Chain A
């Protein structure tokens, strides 16, 4: 792939330098056009081979049959029937709905926490820190953990939160509690905590980016017109930071919806998530069943995203 990318260079060399006559203008445009295709080709190819085709295959295979050790290319809707088995039964919520509800719950909780924290942090750095250098330094401080291993960051909670972990020991040592708090680890709490810990950065960066581009004179104008701090925040900053909020939200929502590692590690393997179901089916070699689940998940996520993208034009906002 590297040589494809680099081959665009010699191709570019064939363009004649700045033709002056108007007659050659169309030829020039056409060449520019051709060049654009050439330059976009590597990316288009990568996405075709590793994204579009795999997704198409996933959809196709989700309609195939399977046994213990192979997938059989014969059309069936059984995989989907299995996914929604028992969902028409009103007495008890079926597994799929239950799993989605659980995942959705994590999604909403994480979204609220990351939004509040991310917005506050970005707001502080963007508006209350005066020196540009300090601003950059603080911004980097928030983003550096993002570059380090997620798995390591996740497991680093375990010695803190366990039944005999640091938090429980400290609280008991201080006499605040008598018995260890069980719900600190392997619970909804620890899962949300880890999600917030891992994903807040995805809120901070786009919101900070939006805020950095707010014209400071707008704030001063609001101030001069007698708006209180809260009013300025709510009526000026929040609306202008909306694109950042939307981008951050999309990130957080998709990351949580598709997760299977965090829920597994922090939930003690006993909390369901859609990603986990897919992974279990993959490891049991039930690829078509996993594919059907993936298609359903994809649909669910897309529905959520469409609602959010309606609000902004992503390309303009960068």
Chain B
């Protein structure tokens, strides 16, 4: 008996030790030789909104590149870029966070000459125009941060250079989403968000830098105050805005705050809220669940946002080439059409158009009534024939932009005040 115990104990301990060592040491040292022999994998850091299994599958098919998504929330993207610059190979982030990312020195400028469609990127980004008309540029408008002075420069260039910060992936104009079946009257202004009529049924975005812009839209709509730049408030303006939010919160205006795209979908679809700031595809998603939901154009205009691909400074060699290949593929049309069908806009409209049916293009981009049933990327029917897209055509929507998501100079102060609002 003694011997059996002895043997079994020893083997067990040795086995355990060996397993522990193998498990513990293996992943740290890694197996570079094995990886080198395999096709390229790109670690794609971004928010869940922009990441889709379909795109990953398609690019694997077309280019043989494996996309490994790292889905995190907007703030976390910024944090990872600043604190763990080598933990990803491709970055998909909002233009406004560039104000934090570029000074950190962890992003390299993208060589415009290697981007085949660089000249065809919509002037929304390059010049701040839609169909030749200048659009609102309060906040961190992409045109302000689109170019760098040099590849490793920490300063944004005022005019076009060959170094691009981010290649746009998706962008859109946000407004209020409403449940017309539960509100039963027309909504035309941002001020309705804080209308006591919707007490306990409203929601805003709990990303400080975006939420405060929504609040600013409300304040301007009530006529209380007009900001010189909603996207760059002074301390006094932040105080005023937060004060209004706190009053509304204490009066029980808000049901919950949302932080992520799908959270807003859940709130709206389950009837927890009837009016909230919302993203266009979120509205589409609520509707696809059979719940009436309108993406309501408002007279004060939209708050726009844009995301884009960036490259970490240390990316080089095969991975860098693969990243450029992937971006070029992304701009070549299939992905653009895929995004357009979800209600986003793509960076190079022409290439996307080539991958869409004319009736789809007419519905999504030209604001015309749908000739046939409109289907989503998964083949499910989103809209019946005859429907018209909320907010109309691309030009009407993007032309109606009032401001852009932003990082303010007083950001630190603003975050502190926002915490105060959450605590109130």
Contact = CB atoms under 8 A, between A and B. Distances in A.
Do A and B have CB atoms closer than 8 angstroms in the complex?
yes
Interface of A: 1-3, 6, 9, 67-70, 82, 85, 95, 98-99, 102, 162-164, 182, 185-186, 268-272, 276-277, 280-286, 289
Interface in B1-60: 13, 16-17, 20-21, 24
B17 A280 contact: no
A9 B407 CA distance: 57
A268 B76 contact: no
A294 B211 CA distance: 25
B376 interface: no
Interface residues of B, number: 42
Given A6-B13, A285-B78, A70 B200 contact: no
B416 interface: yes
A276 to B, nearest CB: 7
B17 A186 contact: no
Contact of A186 (B272, B415, B416): B272
A270 to B, nearest CB: 5
B256 A186 contact: yes
Contacts of B24: 1-2
B257 interface: yes
B120 interface: no
Interface in B233-268: 249, 254-259
B422 interface: yes
Interface of B: 13, 16-17, 20-21, 24, 73, 75-76, 78-79, 82-83, 99-101, 103-104, 200, 206, 208, 249, 254-259, 270-272, 407, 411-412, 415-416, 418-420, 422-424
Given A272-B422, A280-B415, A285-B79, 11 more contacts: A67-B412, A68-B100, A99-B419, A162-B270, A163-B270, A185-B272, A186-B255, A268-B257, A270-B422, A277-B423, A284-B412
A93 to B, nearest CB: 10
Contact of A280 (B100, B249, B255, B422): B422
Contact of A98 (B254, B272, B424): B424
B17 A3 contact: yes
Nearest to B272: A163
* Chain B contact residues: helix, strand, loop or mixed: helix
A210 B208 CA distance: 48
A68 B418 contact: no
Contacts of B16: 2
B141 to A, nearest CB: 19
B415 A284 contact: yes
Contacts of B78: 285
Nearest to B256: A268
A147 to B, nearest CB: 22
A268 B271 contact: no
B332 to A, nearest CB: 34
B422 A284 contact: no
Nearest to B72: A283
B423 A69 contact: no
B249 A285 contact: no
B412 A286 contact: yes
Nearest to B102: A69
A317 B256 CA distance: 44
A85 B256 CA distance: 27
Given A185-B272, A269-B259, A286-B415, A99 B423 contact: yes
A69 B271 contact: no
B231 to A, nearest CB: 15
B249 A270 contact: yes
A96 to B, nearest CB: 8
A162 B418 CA distance: 26
B75 A283 contact: yes
Contact of A269 (B76, B79, B103, B257): B257
Contacts of B416: 82, 85, 289
A4 to B, nearest CB: 11
Contact of A284 (B75, B249, B254, B257): B75
Contacts of A9: 13
Given A98-B423, A269-B256, A276-B422, A69 B100 contact: yes
A70 to B, nearest CB: 7
A2 B20 contact: yes
A95 B412 contact: no
Residue of A85, A98, A270 contacting most chain B CB atoms (<10 Å): A270
Given A186-B272, A269-B258, A270-B254, A95 B20 contact: no
A95 B76 contact: no
Nearest to B411: A68
A84 B104 CA distance: 30
A159 to B, nearest CB: 9
A69 B106 CA distance: 11
A285 B82 CA distance: 9
Nearest to A183: B200
A72 B20 CA distance: 39
Nearest to B10: A9
Contacts of A280: 208, 415, 418-419, 422
A280 B76 CA distance: 10
A286 B418 CA distance: 14
Nearest to B252: A182
A154 B423 CA distance: 22
A183 B294 CA distance: 27
B249 A283 contact: no
A280 to B, nearest CB: 6
Given A95-B419, A186-B272, A277-B423, A283 B76 contact: yes
Contacts of A286: 412, 415
Contacts of A269: 206, 256-259, 422
A141 B369 CA distance: 60
Contacts of A68: 99-100, 103, 407, 411-412
A272 B419 contact: yes
Contact of B419 (A3, A67, A277): A277
Residue of A185, A284, A286 contacting most chain B CB atoms (<10 Å): A284
A2 B79 contact: no
A102 B419 CA distance: 13
Contacts of B17: 2-3, 6
Residue of B101, B104, B257, B422 contacting most chain A CB atoms (<10 Å): B422
Nearest to A94: B420
A276 B208 CA distance: 14
B21 A3 contact: yes
Contacts of B20: 2
A284 B256 contact: no
Contacts of B82: 69-70, 285
Contacts of B100: 68-69, 285
